[in-house]
Amino acid sequence: MNRLRYSSVLACLTLSSSLSYAQEVDTAFDVQQQYQQNAQQSQLRVEALDDETLSMVSSSNRELESYEALLTYNENIRQLLASQEEDSTSGRASRSRSESASYRTIKFILFITDKIGLNLLVFN
């Protein structure tokens, strides 16, 4: 009888220990799943930020290329204007009234594009 009693006690202890262990495993499994979900969400946020950053860098590079093209264009216009001024002062070319207005307009446009280019550079 004692042997039966010990077997019953041992069986009860083993069963309760197994249930306790199963609960710990379930809890650990739930925690692991939560960590995995959090990691996936974090990875999605990182990828979204990466895409946004790449887009911003690409846009910035395009703006810088446009700005550099504008600087080159403005330098070419300056050289053309300097050449025209030199021709005008040497007496080889005389400007009519419409040419003079056109010349002032080109200088004004050059001034404005310089200002716009600087503003683009500052705001980007």
Domain range annotation of the chain: 2-123
Q: Which residue has the higher pLDDT, 116 or 4?
A: 116
What are the tokens at 11? 């069986």
pTM (whole model) above 0.95:
no
Q: Say how far apart CA 87 and CA 93 lie, in whole Å.
A: 6
Q: Which residue has the higher pLDDT, 57 or 84?
A: 57
Distant-in-sequence, close-in-space partners of 95: CB < 8 Å, separation ≥ 6: 88, 103
Cα-based torsion angle of the residue sequence 91, 96, 98, 99 in order, rounded to the nearest 10 degrees: -10
Q: Say how far apart CA 103 and CA 83 lie, in whole Å.
A: 12
Distance of CA 92 to the CA centre of its chain: 54
Q: What is the pLDDT of residues 93-119, one digit of tens each?
A: 455 555 666 777 777 777 777 777 655
